[in-house]
């Protein structure tokens, strides 16, 4: 990967990395068959949840969005049958989780959890609502930009990519230590989705394109810490 395209484990401006980044040399542990070939993440075992905006059968509050993209390798070859987990705050900027005590309202029709799989050409798609910003206590008057979390699984426990997707034009990006922890500005741009009118559903939802590149100089920045 290109130097500066991935965030360092210890980013002082991102406060929690001081507590959870490695402080001693890493130990290489040989991987066995279990780590490299299992489990099998298949739709038959993990049913997709592709519409987060209708998880309860009733519409969630907020601006409905469609996110579509591809998972590819460094040679732009599609990566099929990849399980993608999605989690996010609701439109008011609150997670449906007991650890989130932000005084923004919860939405009983939005749980903020989804799961999709790539098809044979590496494409995925899901429907949700645009997440809101929220305060996060990293520093004085700190607010997270609108974002969606992703976890991509490969063919074993040792193959997992965790990252975040941001939205174009968000003024909080220039102030966010997590986004800015990626040293290379060009690599940071790969974390911002692109508005796409072809994905947009008329009178229903705005569309965004967000691709994942698993390796190489154009690799998607991942969470290291």
Confirm whether 208 is a catalytic residue: no
Question: Which residue in the list 14, 124, 134, 150 is annotated as catalytic?
Answer: 134
Choosing from 102, 149, 194, 209, the catalytic residue is 149
Place of tokens 């799989």: 117
- CB 161, CB 214: distance < 8 Å: yes
Which one of the listed residues 70, 144, 188, 190 is annotated catalytic? 144
Q: What is the largest CA-CA distance in the chain?
A: 54
- Cα–Cα distances in angstroms (integers) from residue 45 to residues 41, 107, 155, in the given order: 7, 28, 14
Give, in order, the Cα–Cα distances in Å from 193 to each of 27, 110, 153, 189, 218.
36, 22, 21, 9, 15
Identify which of 72, 194, 206 has the alpha carbon closest to the alpha carbon of residue 130: 206
Among all chains, which residue has been given the structure tokens 């967000």? 210
Let me know if 144 is a catalytic residue.
yes
CA distances in angstroms from 218 to 3, 135, 215, listed in the order given: 11, 31, 7
Q: Could you confirm whether 149 is annotated as catalytic?
A: yes
21 has catalytic annotation: no
CB 23 within 8 A of CB 9: no
Active-site hit among 64, 70, 111, 147: 147
140 close to 63: Cβ distance less than 8 angstroms: no
Catalytic residue flag (residue 147): yes
Out of 14, 95, 124, 208, the active site residue is: 95
Whole-angstrom Cα distance, residue 89 to residue 130?
Answer: 9
Q: What positions carry a catalytic annotation? A: 95, 134, 144, 147, 149
């Amino acid at each position: 990967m290109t130097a500066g395209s991935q965030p360092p484990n210890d980013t002082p401006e991102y406060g929690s990395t001081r507590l959870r980044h490695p402080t001693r040399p890493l130990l290489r542990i040989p991987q066995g068959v279990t780590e490299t070939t299992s489990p099998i993440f298949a739709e038959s075992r993990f049913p997709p949840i592709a519409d987060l905006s209708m998880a309860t059968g009733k519409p969630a509050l907020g601006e409905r969005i469609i996110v579509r993209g591809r998972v590819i390798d460094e040679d732009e070859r599609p990566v099929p049958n990849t399980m993608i987990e999605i989690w996010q705050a609701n439109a008011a900027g609150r997670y449906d989780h007991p650890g989130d005590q932000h005084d923004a309202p919860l939405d009983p029709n939005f749980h903020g959890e989804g799961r999709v799989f790539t098809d044979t050409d590496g494409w995925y798609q899901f429907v949700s609502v645009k997440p809101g910003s929220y305060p996060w206590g990293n520093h004085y008057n700190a607010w997270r930009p609108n974002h969606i979390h992703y976890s991509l699984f490969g063919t074993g426990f040792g193959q997992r990519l965790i990252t975040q997707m941001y939205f174009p034009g968000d003024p909080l990006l220039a102030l966010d230590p997590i986004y800015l922890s990626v040293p290379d500005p060009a690599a940071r741009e790969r974390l911002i989705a692109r508005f796409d009118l072809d994905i947009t559903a008329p009178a229903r939802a705005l569309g965004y394109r967000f691709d994942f590149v698993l390796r190489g100089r154009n690799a998607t920045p991942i969470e290291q810490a």
